Amino acid sequence: MNFFVPFTTDPEQAQLVCQWVETRLQQMGFSVFREPVFQVTSLHGSQPITNTVGQKSVCTGEVVMIILRNDLECLICSYSKGFMRGEPIRIPVSQVEAVLVFG
């Protein structure tokens, strides 16, 4: 899967949006790797939950815009969670079952 951000028109715009979100999260105190993630599967209790860029999140009902990560957690960004407002959905690495990066 090639890197994209939903609702952007080309790869250059997607990169700019991703950099903007990275900067926004860093200003909020989050560290992020520069490798955007396409999909994260995590366990909530014993229930697997998959969040995929471009699809609706089970957690928010909003489209997942960007997924970033660091050594401690994956950061799921939808419009109102980390993208334009608020903090991202935080999934500790201890709950992460699988990560699929763009590539």
pLDDT (tens digit per residue) in 34-89:
788 999 999 988 899 999 999 999 889 999 999 999 999 999 999 999 999 999 99
Structural tokens at position 37: 């993630």
Q: What is the pLDDT of residue 35?
A: 86
Report CA Rg, the chain: 12
Q: What is the pLDDT of residue 6?
A: 96
Residue with tokens 């660091």: 70
For residue 48, list its beta bridge partners.
43
The residue count for the chain: 103
82: exposed, middle or buried (C-beta count within 10 Å: 0-12, 13-18, 19+)?
buried
Q: What is the pLDDT of residue 59?
A: 87
| Domain definitions of the chain by residue range | 11-101
DSSP string across 58-78:
TTTSSBEEEEEE-SSEEEEEE
5-32 pLDDT, tens digit per residue, is 999 999 999 999 999 999 999 999 999 9
**What's the one-letter identity of residue 69?**
R
